[in-house]
């Protein structure tokens, strides 16, 4: 077996239960001579794949592994996972799929996917609108405290309702989203249009992304709507756990047979 093979086998031994590698342990686990293990560990250390602990207790993961991880995560950003989920949802239901983020008090669209259903409610990428007039905006804002949302929407600096909203209306909507995990609304702006959405937060970057399906209310009976809500929830749950979103990780731990 080559030195490269041995080096890869040694690196593969590091995990949560074994964060440090010691010559004796590696020798026993891989059935390799101690001299060979010691030499390979030093080479990996010199190359930056491992770091020698100052206490001399063993070798831990080095900076090169972190650099690779950063490149990996950059290629598998939260928005890419959301887009992949949206594609499947749009193909299944035929409705329009959108994804976006909140910037200040506005929702900004990042993705727009058209479905096959004859009637479509679509908005263009980069479109902006008042955040609480969007199901994506509502889902994202629900991650913050009521007070923080009031401030973002301008309710703390206005003596009157904004966009027809007052603090109690906003607080009630936020509470429902936090309880249900998803946001659902009929005709936020356009009469006859319903939307179901959810939000995600990438623990690594702090990036928050919301996504939704929008459709004519007449196109989804009760059974159809429940199926759609379940699929939106499941998609958000799966992505949320992948990106270490505490909101969704807590829900998975409470969900039966998860």
What CATH number is attached to the domain comprising 185? 3.30.450.40
Q: What is the pLDDT of residue 217?
A: 86
Tens of pLDDT along 120-159?
A: 777 788 899 999 999 999 999 999 999 999 999 988 766 5
Strands 50-52 and 59-61: antiparallel
The reported pLDDT for the residue numbered 229 is 96
Q: Is residue 69's pLDDT more than 80?
A: no
The reported pLDDT for the residue numbered 116 is 92
Average pLDDT of the chain is: 89
Q: Which of the listed residues 29, 52, 73 is the one where a domain comes to its end? A: 73
Do 224 and 125 fall within a single domain? Answer: yes
Do 23 and 57 belong to one domain?
yes
The domain boundary, picked from 73, 97, 126, lies at 73
Give yes or no for residue 258 having a pLDDT over 70: no
Neighbours of 114 (CB within 10 A): 12
* Cα-based distances in Å from 197 to 99, 118, 150: 9, 21, 21
Q: Identify whether residues 113 and 190 lie together within a single domain.
A: yes
Q: With 80 as the cut, is the pLDDT of residue 74 above it?
A: no
Q: Tell me: the pLDDT tens digits for 77-89?
A: 889 999 999 999 9
Q: Mark whether 96 and 84 lie in a shared domain.
A: yes
> Of 73, 96, 130, which residue sits at a domain end?
73
Number of domains in the chain: 2
Same domain, 68 and 87: no
Per-residue model confidence (pLDDT) at position 33: 93
- Domain that includes residue 28, residue range: 3-73
Plot region of 200 (φ>0 → left; ψ -120 to 50 → alpha; else → beta): beta
Mean pLDDT confidence for 91-113: 94
């Amino acid at each position: 077996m080559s030195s490269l093979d041995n080096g890869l086998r040694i690196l593969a031994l590091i995990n949560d239960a074994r964060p440090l590698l010691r010559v004796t342990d590696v020798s026993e686990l891989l059935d390799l001579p101690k001299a060979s293990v010691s030499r390979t560990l030093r080479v990996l250390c010199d190359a930056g794949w491992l770091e020698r602990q100052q206490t001399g207790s063993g070798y831990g993961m080095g900076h090169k592994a972190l650099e690779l991880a950063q490149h990996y995560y950059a290629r598998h950003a939260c928005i890419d996972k959301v887009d992949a989920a949206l594609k499947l949802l749009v193909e299944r239901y035929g409705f329009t799929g959108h994804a976006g983020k909140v910037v200040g008090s506005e929702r900004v669209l990042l993705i727009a996917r058209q479905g096959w259903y004859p009637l479509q409610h679509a908005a263009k990428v980069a479109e902006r609108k008042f955040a609480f007039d969007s199901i994506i905006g509502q889902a994202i804002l629900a991650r913050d405290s009521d007070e923080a949302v009031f401030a973002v929407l301008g309710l703390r600096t206005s003596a009157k309702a904004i966009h027809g909203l007052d603090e109690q209306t906003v607080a009630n909507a936020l509470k429902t989203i936090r309880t249900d995990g998803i946001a659902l609304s009929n005709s936020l702006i356009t009469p006859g249009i319903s939307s179901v959405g959810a939000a995600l937060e990438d623990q690594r970057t702090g990036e928050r992304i919301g996504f939704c399906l929008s459709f004519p209310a007449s196109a989804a009976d009760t059974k159809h709507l429940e199926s759609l809500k379940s699929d939106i929830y499941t998609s958000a749950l799966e992505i949320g756990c992948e990106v270490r979103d505490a909101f969704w990780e807590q829900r998975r731990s409470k969900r039966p047979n998860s």
